[in-house]
Amino acid sequence: MRVSSVPRTGNTVRNPVIPGFHPDPSICRAGADYYVACSSFEYFPGVPIFHSRDLVHWTQVGNALDRPSQLRLPPDSPSSGGIYAPTLRHHDGRFWLIVTNVSGDGNLLFTATDPAGPWSDPIRLPGVHGIDPDLAWDDDGNCWCTYAGVGQVRIDPHTGETFGPPRRLWSGAPGAKAPEAPHLYRIGDFWYLLIAEGGTERCHGVSIARSRTPTGPFEPCPDNPILTHRGTDHPIQNTGHADLVQAPDGTWWMVLLGVRPGGGTPGWHVLGRETFLVPVEWADGWPVVGELSSVVPAPPWPLQPHGVVPGLDDFDISELAPCWISLRHRSTEDCTTKERPGWLTLHARGGSLDDADVTFVGRRQQHLSCRVRALADVEEGRGGLTVRLDERHHYDIEASSGEVQVRARIGPLSTVVASRPIPPGPVVLRIEVAAVEAVNDARTGPDTVTIGIEEPDGTYAGLTSLDGRYLSTEVAGGFTGRVIGMFASSGSVHFDWCDYESLDR
């Protein structure tokens, strides 16, 4: 394992603090510990949970939804479906997590005594009709669930029962689309309602209102939106879906999502929506958000570089690290490290990565430039490495006995772009992503994806280089980011190791 920390320069630290496809962050604090939960969409296990002691270095400690009884995603559920926008809270000695499964189960509530798990089976909330649900408790013990729209209903979080009809609260600026991601807080004498508005694309923003009661009426902040990069050339765009947290020293901080478009016009973001950190101050009873940039003022306490990111995974332990995710479900019959000790074995269940129900184990691309390598034994099947955005947008290197092929799927088009014979025995497959450093043409893509193999003597044989724009949200649509990983398309494929390495400067 490689130890990774967020670089620090003087009194600043780098943003994003949780890079890669980690959208819709929700944060809570319990004592000296901070926890963040993010959306996971069609991937299993769902809802990654991160821990930090300093708001800067984050370690993934688990996935909240790691059992079929918690997360049901039908094999035909669409990409960018599944699990949307969790809210994570610590209340009355327990952790509470509320999410929406848009692919069938609606709004669900889970509890745990330890955010690393195990989390409970779901409490269903059939009376909550809206995505992005939030939880807040008043002094009388009432639990208020506020959701996109922006609507609200009182619930019993232990049973899922709702009380009374839902009410509309406040929907942001007049005419602004998609009021969503509400979070309700009691701060001082007021209840504050924080929302996102403008849609999760370039017009995304954060606005806030306040009331003397959790049910309103709400008075909007005169300086709304309190954060947005719409209409600017800022390198961080789509800023929104925020959550607030207070540190033990009384300072306030905000986590939010944003993207880093690259290349020329219109700009393509390929890592998905990432988690950023920004300081918050208060003036005249309203939050004032500090400047959001690729560096952020470091919190005024010692940083604790304890974040561990799996780089080289040799599959020597029986359970996969929490960063590894699969499509819609993962069974021990299809994916195991116990069949051949020290190897990850994948048994094919779908024909190719064009299928929704393919055997796949990958991890989020977290760096604009990176290299991924894997040693594959394909004597019993066919499979390899892929860079995936969804079923209609992926680049693959697929090995079978005696040959490797590079295949590109871009929308309705699918083609083999390169192939070559390989000698018998295991083969090292390699995918390298290189971000562009200068834009000489407005049509320049964000990065280049180079795909090849390593010869038995260790030299690299590149087979092709492909434009990365076609594996971007601006081309493919949806809400996710790239995931790079291993797959089996026929028979059984064994992987001795997989190595992810950042090449960012």
Per-residue model confidence (pLDDT) at position 9: 46
Active site residue 377: no
Per-residue model confidence (pLDDT) at position 305: 65
pTM greater than 0.75 = yes
Q: Are 32 and 17 in contact (CB under 8 A)?
A: no
| pLDDT surpassing 70 at residue 147 | yes
Per-residue model confidence (pLDDT) at position 2: 31
Q: Are 380 and 343 in contact (CB under 8 A)?
A: no
Q: Are 133 and 123 in contact (CB under 8 A)?
A: no
Q: How confident is the model at residue 8 (pLDDT cuts 50, 70, 90)?
A: very low
Active site residue 180: yes
Per-residue model confidence (pLDDT) at position 477: 97
What are 276's two structure tokens? 């950023």
Please name the amino acid found at residue 464.
T
Q: Which of 417, 408, 302, 320 is nearest to 362 (CA)?
A: 320
Per-residue model confidence (pLDDT) at position 424: 92
Mean pLDDT of 4-19: 70
Q: Are 61 and 9 in contact (CB under 8 A)?
A: no
Which tens digit of pLDDT belongs to each residue from 292-309? 999 888 888 888 765 556
Domain ranges of the chain: 2-308, 310-502
Architecture of domain 310-502 in CATH?
A: Sandwich (2.60)
Catalytic option among 24, 105, 132, 134? 24
Q: Say how far apart CA 253 and CA 280 lie, in whole Å.
A: 5
What is the average pLDDT value for the chain, to the nearest integer?
Answer: 94
Per-residue model confidence (pLDDT) at position 191: 98
Q: Say how far apart CA 162 and CA 280 lie, in whole Å.
A: 34
Alpha helices by DSSP H, 29-172: none
Q: How confident is the model at residue 440 (pLDDT cuts 50, 70, 90)?
A: confident
Q: Say how far apart CA 58 and CA 18 lie, in whole Å.
A: 7
Per-residue model confidence (pLDDT) at position 3: 29
What are the C-alpha distances in Å from 107 to residues 97, 99, 124, 199, 415? 11, 6, 6, 21, 40
Per-residue model confidence (pLDDT) at position 505: 79
Mean pLDDT of 381-396: 98
What are 356's two structure tokens? 């929704």
What are 372's two structure tokens? 């991924």
Per-residue model confidence (pLDDT) at position 306: 53
Which tens digit of pLDDT belongs to each residue from 337-358? 999 999 999 999 977 999 998 9
Helix (H) or strand (E) holding 476: helix 473-476
b/e per residue, 470-502, with b = 16+ CB within 10 A? bbbbbbbebbbbbbbbbbbbbbbbbbbbbbbeb
Percentage of the chain beyond pLDDT 70 is 97
| pLDDT surpassing 70 at residue 235 | yes
Per-residue model confidence (pLDDT) at position 310: 62
Q: Say how far apart CA 74 and CA 64 lie, in whole Å.
A: 19
Mean pLDDT of 318-330: 95
Which tens digit of pLDDT belongs to each residue from 167-194? 999 999 988 999 999 999 999 999 999 9
Burial (CB count <10 Å: 0-12, 13-18, 19+), residue 174: exposed
Architecture of domain 2-308 in CATH?
A: 5 Propeller (2.115)
Which tens digit of pLDDT belongs to each residue from 360-374? 999 999 999 999 999
Please tell me whether residue 481 adopts helix, strand or coil conformation.
coil
Per-residue model confidence (pLDDT) at position 1: 27
What are 49's two structure tokens? 């949970």
The number of C-alpha atoms within 13 Å of 467 and in the hemisphere containing its C-beta is: 11
Catalytic option among 134, 180, 197, 313? 180
Which tens digit of pLDDT belongs to each residue from 238-285? 999 999 999 999 999 999 999 999 999 999 999 999 999 999 999 999
Mean pLDDT of 110-122: 98
Q: Say how far apart CA 154 and CA 9 lie, in whole Å.
A: 46
Q: Which of 228-232, 302-306, 391-395, 442-446 has the lowest mean pLDDT?
A: 302-306
Q: Say how far apart CA 398 and CA 405 lie, in whole Å.
A: 5
| pLDDT surpassing 70 at residue 4 | no
